[in-house]
Amino acid sequence: AQSVTQPDIHITVSEGASLELRCNYSYGATPYLFWYVQSPGQGLQLLLKYFSGDTLVQGIKGFEAEFKRSQSSFNLRKPSVHWSDAAEYFCAVGASGGSYIPTFGRGTSLIVHP
Amino acid sequence: DTGVSQNPRHKITKRGQNVTFRCDPISEHNRLYWYRQTLGQGPEFLTYFQNEAQLEKSRLLSDRFSAERPKGSFSTLEIQRTEQGDSAMYLCASSLGPAPYNEQFFGPGTRLTVL
């Protein structure tokens, strides 16, 4: 069975500071990995995804994530946070075979101080 | 492209009542997905359709939950005999082809409150 752990419920950063959101997954083979952002009243938006290949993935809005198989991690990073990045961030994992049924983490709430 | 729309955005009902939610996917998207999101949790997959065919429904939470997509366009999710534990956000998503190779686009959700 696949699972996702986002160990941080809340993260607070100052505007302009760097950001790293943690995600650990459990899956027997190479999974499909995703990061989504959810702003209040908005639907989830895909930031980036990893299927295979280069383990450093670039996404939208200046985000990137790195797949580390040895650590079963897929952490999300941004070098300089903007106030508009305040939102809920979800990591998700999907099986690489069969019907695609994703498993989401519980989310990390990002608070940005001016 | 107006995105995925969901109606109503909010629904308050009394325990034991039936509720129905509607999802209108992005036109030409043949895949449609339903998720439930409870407070403080990530989305939980419920079911999905390819056109009008419901390809996966084993994750529907109980037999009180059912979904349809009769003409392969909009979809409805019905909950019969609602319980307080059904209070959650119900999300719909659509994709042009099979996920995860095709991006899922999510609607804003319908928030259900069962009193």
Q: What is the pLDDT of residues A90-111, one digit of tens each?
A: 999 987 666 778 899 999 999 9
Q: What is the pLDDT of residues A1-54, one digit of tens each?
A: 789 999 999 999 999 999 999 999 998 777 899 999 999 888 899 999 999 889
Cβ of residue B57 closer than 8 Å to a chain A Cβ: no
- Say if CB B82 and CB B13 are below 8 A apart: yes
- Say if CB A46 and CB A32 are below 8 A apart: no
Higher pLDDT, B57 or B13: B13
Give chain A's length: 114
pLDDT of residue B2: 77
**Shortest Cα distance from B43 to chain A (angstroms)?**
6
Distances (CA, A) of B46 to A35, A103, B92, B102: 20, 11, 10, 19
Quick one: closest CA in A to B42, which residue? A106
- Say if CB B23 and CB B107 are below 8 A apart: yes
Question: Is the N-terminal amide bond of B98 cis, ω within 30° of 0?
Answer: no
Best of B24, B41, B45 to disrupt the A interface (most A CBs within 10 Å) is: B45
- Say if CB A107 and CB A11 are below 8 A apart: no
Mean pLDDT value across residues B103-113: 95
pLDDT of residue A19: 97
pLDDT of residue A47: 97
Mean pLDDT value across residues B19-37: 96
**Shortest Cα distance from A27 to chain B (angstroms)?**
16
Q: Which of residues 63-102 of B touch A (CB under 8 A)?
A: 91, 93, 98-100
Six-digit token pair at B93?
A: 């998503």
**Shortest Cα distance from B38 to chain A (angstroms)?**
10
Q: What is the Cβ-side half-sphere exposure of residue A22, based on CA atoms within 13 angstroms?
A: 10
Which H or E element spans position A57?
A: strand A56-58
Q: What is the pLDDT of residues B48-94, one digit of tens each?
A: 999 999 998 888 889 999 999 998 899 999 999 999 999 999 999 99
